[in-house]
Structure 1
Amino acid sequence: MRSNGFIGIFFFCLGIMFAQEKKWTLEECVLYAVDNNLTIEQYELDLENSRIDKSDAVGDMLPNFNINARLTGNSGLVLDQSRNQQVTGTITTASGGFGSSVNLFDGLRNIHRLNRAKLNALANQYRLDNLKDDIMLAVANNYLQVVSNKESLKVFRSQYAVTRQDLERTKELIAAGVVPSGDLLEIEATLANQEQQIVNGENQVLISRINLAQLLQITDYENFDIAEEEFNIPPSNILENSPKSIFDKAQTFRNDIKFSLSNVELALKDLQIAKGAVYPTLGAFFNYGTQYSSEFRDPATGERLPFSDQLYLTDGISYGLQLNIPVFNGFSTRNGIQRAKISVERSRLQLKQDKLDLETNINQAYVDVTSFAKAYEAAEKTLEARRLAYEYSKDRFDVGLMNSFDFSQAQSRVDNAEAELIRTKYDYIFRLKVLEFYFGLPITLD
């Protein structure tokens, strides 16, 4: 028993260690966010509720069937139904039966309600899928932000290590009399500034990790971290397509556009349902009933009849058709039709607005990709030039031809160029993926 308990504790601790050491990849983050997001779960409940509405619409088209029963005791002056006269005493009565009715015609409103329920279920599915699309983009953006901050932190630490070497070299140059001792202060100031950059970089990494964890509904911020992945700019020919062609294709599959289109169809169904109220309604019914009384007697012999005989003698049925013709109802039907027409126009305007927003977003994404591609190329050239300038400054500083202030400025320009290159790189990658996403390509960074 003890050994089994020890083994259980061992595997439990091993599981905790594994959970703490887990590094999340982008694909894992996207899948986890889609499976655990609270808003998605709420939308899934709305989708399930719309399917229940569909079942309600089907049920409204079927006949209903009800059974009823009643048992009553009366004391004092009561009506004896068998003799149809008032008597003093106690009488027990019972009645029961069943009935059914069905709506034969109601201006086709039940059929329209069924079709509306189907459209509503489809609309909720589009809304759910659109939310998943937005969450996947948000996860990708936050994930790349963590990667970008981590790479920037690596650069800061690497720069700090280089500055430490420059500090030692400066001390040697001062000892050799090549540079004045005051230059050491400038190097130490640069080193302190880089230490502050490292602290700020660590804070940025922590904040971006927390933001990503919150998006994934993960509360264990301390142990949450992403995998050590390095992303290069993926090859893409998306810019070979014009913004107009991307927009035309996006309209065919984007879930937000499908959702907006389904809202127009729902409004049209609501209008048909409202118009159905001006038509007559026709229904059919069938009822069966019987009763029992403790004082029910045979009219010929005066003897009380048994329970089963009474049920047979007192039963009866009723059946027929019922027609209702609407004539005047205080303008409610007419006003309902007018409101439905307004809803149709509102949904059509919203569809136009959604298409305009989509076209605007695509054009903006297209411009962003173009501009960030140029910015990344410029940042690469700038960094290369800054590094060459730094190497030249370093050679001059080593022989005492440059003071420590100018040398620190050269190194600072290299630091800024490397940070700018990292920022533009991941901004370019994300905007490239956004534009590809509008074109129907999946979010991958391979």
Structure 2
Amino acid sequence: MKRTLLSLLFLSGITSLSISAQTQLSGADDGIGYTLEECIDYALDHNIALRQAELAIENSLVGLNQSKANVLPSANGQFGLNSNFGRNIDPFSNDIVTQSISTNSMGVGANMLLYNGYRLKNTIARSTLDLEASRMDLAAQRNNISLQIAVAYLNVISSKEMINVAEKNIEVTRLQLERTQKMVEAGSLAETNLFNLNAQLANDELSLVNSQNQFETSILTLKQAMNLTDNRRFDVGKINVPEPDLQLYPESPQQVYEAAINYLPEIKAAEIREEMALKNIQIAKAVGLPSVSANVSWGTAFSTAAKNLVPNGFDTQTVSATTVFDGQTVPFTIDFQQPAFTQENIPYFSQLGNNQSMNAGISMQIPIFNGFNKKYQMQSAKIQQMQSELTTENTLLGIRQNIDQAYINMQNAAKAYSANLVQVDALQKAFVAAESSYNAGASNFVDYNLAKTNLDRAQANLIQAKYDYIFRIKILDFYQNKPLEL
């Protein structure tokens, strides 16, 4: 049964379960046993793949916030200190000087993209879709893990029932052994019957041991599926699973499919990625469109070479000249008075205030040739769109095929369960008759043992058929977002 259910699990690949998250297990500590909800909650909280998927969602959220932030203006400041030695150019007078000059410059600039073919807008939309697709992927993983736990949990319950059947078989054999002992002592039966019943009891006890081993294996499988690694006492709660209804399943395969495509996160994720592919095409188109930016900047500077000229009286300057008088060259001098100045350093903050400059402007960049970048980006985006459409189509096809297969499996399981019910009922009556005949001495041990063996085998088959049928019903329920209830 275990292999059958797990095979169906990987075939279906879908489920849903809406339950509140819990991080503590409380069942077996008080002797009650863990409920299915507790096991699923624990598995969801401790599954490493789920935690990785949650981190992927956080990373997608970071990418979305980054794409939104790219719309905001960018602002940068600069601050520089420089020292020049030897032959230099005075940055204020542009004179060539031979002296050491120290300069200090600072400024702030801001730039804002006004238009780039809606590339930023479409990038934000794509990041939003990527985040939503990641959330759908996480939901699908949670559903698959929930169903995996449900399979393991059903196997544990089935193993428990097999133990109960084995214990009842031992009890029946022991009662028969006591009767036979009395009949042998009374001389009604041969002593060989005691030997045969002791052998039968040994076989029943071996069946019990095998059932207990299977139970321990199913417990380990469930714990491993939950990632429960401690050595606490572990058991499942006592659940009285009702006999499944053999009435016709209320929904047809088409109705199940129509419910599934409106619910399953796998389908939603595929459809979202189709929308992402369309956004990629729009982003690629923007590569060939102009981009417009606005910018503004402010700056100032200080230099040790900057000096102020301070008036310092007047200087007399004598200029020699000549003139011609009566054919004679006559030399003479002329005294000129001109203002005198002295140089003094300009204070640091005064220079910063005096040397301020501002700039504002708008620039446009028009793509002319970029190595066919737009062409190849468009081709790649269109191929991605076709791939996403095929992925969605394949997902829908796979879901439809899985539902059809699950429906057939459910019908076959119902038939098998019904046949096993009839068989157990008939073999039960046959065993009662064989037991009465054996106790009356009218039949031998071989007939009694054959009837009991057939009944034991049929009861085991009935348990497997019962849980197989229950699980296959739950598969169809999960496609329709029905809650898991045992």
TM, length-normalised to structure 1: 0.90
- Of residues 389, 394, 399, the one that matches 1:358 is 399
Alpha-carbon distance, 1:353 to partner: 0.6
Deviates more, 1:266-275 or 1:211-220: 211-220
- In structure 1, what is the equivalent of residue 464 of structure 2? 423
Alpha-carbon distance, 1:255 to partner: 1.1
- In structure 2, what is the equivalent of residue 70 of structure 1? 80
Alpha-carbon distance, 1:374 to partner: 1.8
Distance in 2 (alpha carbons) for counterparts of 1:73 and 1:157? 97
Q: What secondary structure does 1:298 align onto?
A: strand
Q: What secondary structure does 2:113 align onto?
A: strand
- Of residues 383, 389, 407, the one that matches 1:348 is 389
User: Which aligned pairs between 1:356-435 and structure 2 lie closer than 5 A?
Assistant: 356-435=397-476
Distance in 2 (alpha carbons) for counterparts of 1:161 and 1:233? 24
- In structure 1, what is the equivalent of residue 59 of structure 2? 49
Q: Which has the higher helix share?
A: 1
- Of residues 181, 194, 198, the one that matches 1:188 is 198
Q: Percent identity between the aligned chains?
A: 34
> AA paired with 1:345?
M
Alpha-carbon distance, 1:376 to partner: 1.4
- In structure 1, what is the equivalent of residue 263 of structure 2? 253
Q: Check whether the contact 1:64–1:102 (CA below 8 A) recurs between aligned residues.
A: yes
Distance in 1 (alpha carbons) for counterparts of 2:284 and 2:248? 47
TM, length-normalised to structure 2: 0.83
- In structure 1, what is the equivalent of residue 237 of structure 2? 227
Distance in 2 (alpha carbons) for counterparts of 1:227 and 1:34? 19
- In structure 1, what is the equivalent of residue 298 of structure 2? 288
Equivalenced residue count is 431
Alpha-carbon distance, 1:71 to partner: 2.3
Alpha-carbon distance, 1:76 to partner: 5.1
Alpha-carbon distance, 1:241 to partner: 1.9
1:325 aligns to 2:335 (yes or no):
no
Q: Check whether the contact 1:20–1:224 (CA below 8 A) recurs between aligned residues.
A: no
State the Cα RMSD in Å: 2.3
Distance in 2 (alpha carbons) for counterparts of 1:239 and 1:417? 25
Q: Check whether the contact 2:296–2:359 (CA below 8 A) recurs between aligned residues.
A: yes
- Of residues 181, 202, 207, the one that matches 2:217 is 207
- In structure 2, what is the equivalent of residue 169 of structure 1? 179
Q: Check whether the contact 1:210–1:221 (CA below 8 A) recurs between aligned residues.
A: no
- In structure 2, what is the equivalent of residue 312 of structure 1? 353
Q: Which has the higher strand share?
A: 2
Deviations 1:73-104, CA, capped at 9 Å, x for gaps? 44555544345355555443211110110111
Alpha-carbon distance, 1:16 to partner: 10
Distance in 1 (alpha carbons) for counterparts of 2:240 and 2:360? 79
- In structure 2, what is the equivalent of residue 112 of structure 1? 122
> AA paired with 1:99?
G
Alpha-carbon distance, 1:50 to partner: 1.7
User: Which aligned pairs between 1:13-32 and structure 2 lie closer than 5 A?
Assistant: 19=29, 21=31, 23-32=33-42
CA separation of 1:30/1:240 partners in 2, compared to 1, >3 Å: closer, same or farther?
same
Distance in 2 (alpha carbons) for counterparts of 1:221 and 1:231? 28
> AA paired with 1:328?
F
Alpha-carbon distance, 1:170 to partner: 2.7
Distance in 1 (alpha carbons) for counterparts of 2:26 and 2:272? 47
Distance in 2 (alpha carbons) for counterparts of 1:299 and 1:286? 34
Distance in 2 (alpha carbons) for counterparts of 1:427 and 1:239? 15
- Structure with larger Rg: 2
Alpha-carbon distance, 1:403 to partner: 2.3
User: Which aligned pairs between 1:118-197 and structure 2 lie closer than 5 A?
Assistant: 118-197=128-207
Q: Check whether the contact 1:103–1:282 (CA below 8 A) recurs between aligned residues.
A: yes
Alpha-carbon distance, 1:337 to partner: 0.9
Q: What secondary structure does 1:394 align onto?
A: helix
Deviations 1:31-64, CA, capped at 9 Å, x for gaps? 3333332222222222222222221121111111
Q: What secondary structure does 2:262 align onto?
A: helix
1:270 aligns to 2:311 (yes or no):
no
Q: Check whether the contact 2:244–2:466 (CA below 8 A) recurs between aligned residues.
A: no
